[in-house]
Structure 1
């Protein structure tokens, strides 16, 4: 999986050609199991984009993953938590602290909906995500 040529930041960098994400979007569909989604190109790319600071791109890759998960499932809440954390990180880069705090709250709501005993969803360590949310919130001043 290759990273995009640059991280898109609205108002600061050029937007990517939408076709950049076509193969990722095509890798997931409604009805897939959590294991199938975890092995999809979209899920793997979305996580890699997030870890490498490509937050807008992570959201773009993860949107169809979220849509493919079952309503109210642990997988859906975990994906939404990751998407909102990526959004919060993007807003932090854009120096929008109020948006960061709001999005961190949304991400935490989805994390808590996963259940207190759940620590990993589709290979995503929820403790690590929770730490990222806490750091984003602390730095949003």
Structure 2
């Protein structure tokens, strides 16, 4: 396990930048296996890369590698809701970059609804309140308010 995931060469923004080659993220996605515990999922390359990708503005790529983590979480579990919230925040950030503020606003609302399903303070090693603050900040940002 490496300390920091290698960032993609560029951020894919549909309609604006080139899409990555098919299967480019398969090795990262393959770090997730069915039946992994939450503790194991938090340590996967897919989860760690997803967080790093989103933090660095690679929103489409974050969604791409977080999807298998979400799928491996037990149905109706806090980890599953938390990963869904991260994915929807990444989607909202991508939509904003694409110039679609209404879609970004809707996705922020979906992310908050997923976070409402989470009672714990820390899920998969992440601060739930910090993610909520980030979603709320985006949902009330002037970029969304003045462009919606």
Cα distance in 1 between the residues matched to 2:63 and 2:126? 15
- Secondary structure of residue in 1 paired with 2:24: helix
Q: Unpaired runs of 5+ in structure 2?
A: none
Partners of 2:80 and 2:14 in 1: how far apart? 26
Q: Which residue of 2 aligns with 1:102?
A: 106
- Per the alignment, in what secondary structure is the counterpart of residue 85 of structure 1? helix
Alignment pair present for 1:73 and 2:108: no
SS of alignment partner, residue 71 of structure 1? coil
Instruction: Give the whole-Å Cα distance in 2 for the aligned partners of 1:20 and 1:128.
Output: 30
**Conservation of the 8 A alpha-carbon contact between 1:92 and 1:136:** no
Partner of residue 131 from structure 1, selected from 129, 133, 141 = 133
Is 1:8–1:56's contact at 8 Å kept on the other side of the alignment? yes
Deviations 1:22-55 (A, max 9, x none): 1111111221100110110100000000111110
- Would you say 1:24 and 2:38 are equivalent positions? no
- Which segments of structure 1 move beyond 3 Å, counting only runs of 4 or more? none
> Could you report, residue by residue, the CA deviation over 1:1-33 in whole angstroms, capped at 9, with x for unpaired residues?
210011000000000013221111111122110
- Whole-angstrom distance in 1 between the partners of 2:125 and 2:51: 10
Q: 2:116 aligns with which of 88, 112, 115?
A: 112
* Structure 1 unaligned residues grouped into runs of 5+: none
Name the stretch that deviates more: 122-131 or 84-93: 122-131
TM-score norm. by structure 1 comes to 0.95
Q: Could you tell me which residue of structure 2 aligns to residue 54 of structure 1?
A: 58
Residue-pair matches, total: 139
TM-score, scaled relative to structure 2: 0.91
Residue of structure 2 in register with 1:84 after alignment: 88
CA RMSD of aligned residues (A): 0.9
Q: Which one has the bigger helix percentage?
A: 1
**C-alpha contact 1:104 1:137 (8 A) present in aligned 2:** yes
